[in-house]
Each structure stands twice: as structure tokens, then as C-alpha cells.
Amino acid sequence: MHLSHFTWASLVTICDFIATFAFATVGARVAAAKGMDFGGITLIAAVSSISGGTLRNLFLLKSPSWVLNPWLFASIGLAVLLTILRKSTEPVGRFMLSLDTFGLAVATVSSTEFAMNAHVRPVIAAILGLIGGVTGGLLRDVLCQVEPVLLHRETIGTSCLVGAITCVSLHEFAINRYIPIIAGALIVVAIRELSIRFEWHLPRI
């Protein structure tokens, strides 16, 4: 195995673990704040962290990542354990939002890269990047019976879509493979963080 291939595979593995842990942690905290029991917290953590990648893979007719890499459940278990040990039922705070933003960025660019490596059209890769980024949070909010953040504030969908388009566009210019990933992730983080800070929203009727 070439060193470059090993390095790339290792990076993807690390990114998947980090994004899974970040989404699972936020999901577990939201569930705890809603007064769910340990089983409910675990379910919401799992749905929050792996549903986006699962849907992305199914659209590409591939097995979900957690089927091929069961170790992803270790990051979910760790997030649940930390949430239970902390015994906090307070609403998600600023730190959790930042952690969610980080997971959002990683999930978006990794989903986009995964789709590009599957040789789909660039527009499809961008859409799958969006799906990989936002699906977990959307299902988390629906299951926890709170108004989905995706549908009314913080421009989550916009940040993911712009980040995915940035990633795809830079790939088209045949730039070093790491640059599109870093640039796309930074775009996601920048747009969402600014939208939280300045309360940016998409126009409403």
C-alpha cells in the first residue's frame, strides 16, 4: 500500500470518528435536556451521528459506513457515557453549538469527497454533501420534538451547501486533494458561526 493512500485512508477514518463523536455528543445532550432515559439518549445520539452518512451511502448504492466500520459505535458510546456521567440536563450551550458546527463541517466535506470518489456528477456530490451534513440534526430535532434548527435559523443548510460547492469547485481545478477539503470545511464553519453570532437567517414570508 502506498504511503499516500494510507495517509488518505487514515484521514478519512479520523474525520468519520470525529464527526460521529461530535454529532453524537450534541444529540445526547439534546435528548438529556428533553428528559429522555438512557435508552432514548443512546438512540438520539446514534441517529444524530450516523443517519446522514447512511442516507448518503444508500443513495450511492453502497453499504452504510457503520456496517463496514462498527468501531464508529465506540464514538457514539463514548459520547453517551460522557453525557450520562456529566448528568447535565441544561439546554445545549455555545460550546455544544461549536462542537455541532465542527461536526457539520467534517460531515459535509467528507460526504462530498465520498461522493466525488464514487465518480458522480459534481452537482450530485454537492447535494450528497448537504445531505450528509444536515440529515442527522434534522432527525434529532424531529425525534426530540423540537422545532428543527435546519428549517428556521442559523443557516445550517446554506453553510453546508456552500461548503460542499466550494469543495466540488476546487476539485474541478485539479488542486491538491487536501485543499478542497480544508476550504470547504472552513466555509461551513465560517458561515454558521457568523450566522449564530449575528443572528443571520434566510428570508421568510
Tell if the pTM clears 0.85, that is, is over it: yes
pLDDT in the model for residue 203: 84
Is residue 48 within 8 A of residue 24, CB to CB? The reply is yes
What are the tens digits of pLDDT across the range 156-191? 999 999 999 999 999 888 667 789 999 999 999 999
- Per domain, the residue ranges of the chain are 3-198
